[in-house]
Structure 1
Amino acid sequence: MAEPAQLELVAVTKRYGTTVAVDAIDLKIPAGTYCCLLGPSGCGKSSTLRMIAGHEIASEGDIVLGPHNVTELPPAKRGTAMMFQSYALFPHLTVLDNVAFALKMRGVDKAVRHEKALKLLELVAMTPYAGRLPAQLSGGQQQRVALARALITEPQILLLDEPLSALDPFLRVRMRAELKRLQRELGITFIHVTHGQEEAMALADLVVLMNGGKIEQQGSPREVFNKPRTEFVARFMGGHNVIRTLDGLVAVRTDHLSVSKDTAAGRPARVVDVEYQGAWIHANLMAEDGTDLVALVPEATFDRDPFQVGDVVSVHWDAAAAHPLA
């Protein structure tokens, strides 16, 4: 594979007519990083990925890959490769020829390109399927072929546009592990667009959470989850209660919210729903001021002092567990 390279976006903007899809974002992605662009539909993450790939041209700003400004370069000249959400395999070509296709377009000798394609099929555990057509493969197998095809050009950065969205939940988790393994083995930068926070936290070294065309927060998964900067981040990442206190707005993790039947122990709240989730009891509550709250109560704690729907309980948390929001 090619040497990994740092990617830098400098005040990158994308407009579609009067609509600003990406609004002057600055971002540095160190070489060899697994970066997830995360956010809701319409936040600008896919437009950002397509500008990095060269499939969209930036309205303003610069895209710098290693020492080179690639803002105006066509996709094939950038040192990036894109794996599309639909996989976009050629239905009439075998798995081997699908993987080797980019080298065929470059005029590489058949024996050479097939040898290289077979090495990549071995990397993604698809060697036994080299002679099959895409229609004879499962969704997970098609994804592996699409990965091998993207990697054959030896990109410095692999771009992945919601690559797991078409897979069933069990296979999605398995393929997450495969993607992480591949990225570690290859040592190149992966930039992966997703709207799933669990997926981003499982995969990424760097999470870039976007909202309304801007970067709302970036950092390691633990930083973004444990120290959300804003109410949007706390709510989007999940696992937090957003609570208004006398000192302002704070985020309290659902597993740090304690529930007690002793109504003098904290803020009163009514139990709305109780779900058994194995090691945890998931409790939905409503505070007196109408705030929806969620508590994850360890099973053993719940069994010592159980509560049920309709009960009035008290909720409380340690001061150190409350993270202030901007």
Structure 2
Amino acid sequence: MAVPAPLELAAVTKRYGATVAVDAIDLKIPAGTYCCLLGPSGCGKSSTLRMIAGHESVSEGDIVLGAANVTDLPPAQRGTAMMFQSYALFPHLSVLDNVAFPLKMRGIDKAARYAKAQDLLALVAMDRYAARLPAQLSGGQQQRVALARALITEPQILLLDEPLSALDPFLRVRMRAELKRLQRELGITFIHVTHGQEEALALADLMVLMNGGKIEQQGRPRDVFNAPRTEFVARFMGGHNVIRTPGGALGVRTDHLRLTPLDGAERLARVTEVEYQGAWVHVSLTGEDGGDLIALLPEAVFDAAPVTSGDRVGVGWDPAAAQPLA
């Protein structure tokens, strides 16, 4: 495989007419990082990925891979490879020929490209399916073939556009682990676009959360989840209550919200729903200010002081667990 290289986006902007899809973002991705671009539809994550790939032109700014400014280079000269959401396999070609195809386009002789394709099919545990056509494969198997084909050109960076979205939930979790294993083994940078918070938390070394064409917050997944800086981050990541106070908004994780007796409670709420979720009990509440709250309680804690829909309770939290939000 190619030597991994860092990637830097410097004030990168993408405009479609009067619409600004990506707004002067700065981003540094160290070599060998699994980076997830995360955010709601229309936030600019896919446009950013396509600009890195060279499939969209950059309106302003620079994309630097290693020591080379690749902003204006065609996709084949960038040292990147892209795995598309649809997999885009050729239906009339065998699995082996699909994987070998990029080397055929580079004029590599048949024996050499087949040998390399077989090696990559073995890497993704698809070597015994080499003679099959794509229509004879499951969705997860097609994804593995598309992954092998993207890797055959030995890219410094692999770009993945929502690669798990077409899979059923069970297979999605399995392929998630497979992607992480491959990235570790290969040592190259993966940049993975997703709208799934759980997917990004599980995979990323670096999480980049986008909103309205800008980077809202970036960092290690644990840091972004535990210390959201804005209301948008707290709400999008989930697992947080946004609580209004005289001093501004606070983010309190749902598993840090406590139910307390009414006597002496600083805040009151009414229970609206109780859902048993195994090890946890999910208690939905409406605060006195009308805001929605959630308390995620360990089963034993709930059982020690059970509540039901309609009950009035106090709510509280450890001040150290509250995160100020912009």
1:85 is aligned to: 85
Matched, 1:273 2:260: no
Tell me if the contact between 1:261 and 1:307 (Cα under 8 Å) persists in the aligned partners.
Answer: no
Tell me if the contact between 2:51 and 2:58 (Cα under 8 Å) persists in the aligned partners.
Answer: yes
Matched, 1:57 2:57: yes
- TM-score, structure 2 as length reference: 0.99
1:188 is aligned to: 188
Residues of 2 paired with 1:252 and 1:73: CA distance? Answer: 46
Letter in 1 for 2:130: A
Give the SS at the match of 2:103.
Answer: helix
Tell me if the contact between 1:102 and 1:152 (Cα under 8 Å) persists in the aligned partners.
Answer: yes
Give the SS at the match of 2:88.
Answer: coil
Residues of 2 paired with 1:220 and 1:51: CA distance? Answer: 23
1:133 is aligned to: 133
What does 1:79-228 correspond to in 2, within 5 Å? 79-228=79-228
Residues of 2 paired with 1:266 and 1:188: CA distance? Answer: 52
Residues of 1 paired with 2:293 and 2:261: CA distance? Answer: 16
Residues of 2 paired with 1:282 and 1:20: CA distance? Answer: 40
Output the aligned Cα RMSD.
0.7
Give the SS at the match of 2:41.
Answer: coil
Deviation of 1:264 after TM superposition, in Å, equals: 2.8
Tell me if the contact between 2:262 and 2:312 (Cα under 8 Å) persists in the aligned partners.
Answer: no
Residues of 2 paired with 1:273 and 1:90: CA distance? Answer: 50
CA deviation vs aligned residue, 1:191-249 (integer Å, no higher than 9, x gap):
00000011000000000000000000000001100110100000001100000112211
Letter in 1 for 2:280: W
CA deviation vs aligned residue, 1:68-125 (integer Å, no higher than 9, x gap):
0000000000000000000000000000000000001111111110000000000000
Residues of 1 paired with 2:272 and 2:154: CA distance? Answer: 54
1:256 is aligned to: 256
Residues of 2 paired with 1:308 and 1:227: CA distance? Answer: 31
CA deviation vs aligned residue, 1:44-84 (integer Å, no higher than 9, x gap):
00000000000000000000000000000000000000000
Residues of 1 paired with 2:282 and 2:240: CA distance? Answer: 13
Give the SS at the match of 2:190.
Answer: strand
Letter in 2 for 1:114: Y
Deviation of 1:260 after TM superposition, in Å, equals: 2.6
Residues of 2 paired with 1:67 and 1:236: CA distance? Answer: 35
What does 1:3-22 correspond to in 2, within 5 Å? 3-22=3-22
Deviation of 1:267 after TM superposition, in Å, equals: 1.1
Which structure 1 residue ranges, 5 or more long, are not aligned? none
Letter in 2 for 1:150: A
Letter in 2 for 1:195: H
1:30 is aligned to: 30
Tell me if the contact between 1:158 and 1:191 (Cα under 8 Å) persists in the aligned partners.
Answer: yes
Deviation of 1:262 after TM superposition, in Å, equals: 3.6
Letter in 2 for 1:152: I
Letter in 2 for 1:177: A
Letter in 2 for 1:16: Y
Deviation of 1:261 after TM superposition, in Å, equals: 4.0
CA deviation vs aligned residue, 1:253-311 (integer Å, no higher than 9, x gap):
00000013444334110001110000000011000100100110110011111000011
Residues of 1 paired with 2:159 and 2:263: CA distance? Answer: 53
- TM-score, structure 1 as length reference: 0.99
2:41 is aligned to: 41
Tell me if the contact between 2:254 and 2:296 (Cα under 8 Å) persists in the aligned partners.
Answer: yes
Residues of 2 paired with 1:111 and 1:260: CA distance? Answer: 72
Residues of 1 paired with 2:199 and 2:264: CA distance? Answer: 40
Give the SS at the match of 1:107.
Answer: coil
Deviation of 1:188 after TM superposition, in Å, equals: 0.1
Which structure 2 residue ranges, 5 or more long, are not aligned? none
Give the SS at the match of 2:28.
Answer: strand
Letter in 1 for 2:320: A
Residues of 2 paired with 1:204 and 1:24: CA distance? Answer: 23
CA deviation vs aligned residue, 1:150-180 (integer Å, no higher than 9, x gap):
0000000000000000000000000000000
Tell me if the contact between 1:261 and 1:305 (Cα under 8 Å) persists in the aligned partners.
Answer: no
Moved over 3 A (4+): none
Give the SS at the match of 1:158.
Answer: strand
Give the SS at the match of 2:48.
Answer: helix
Tell me if the contact between 2:251 and 2:325 (Cα under 8 Å) persists in the aligned partners.
Answer: yes
The number of equivalent residue pairs is 326
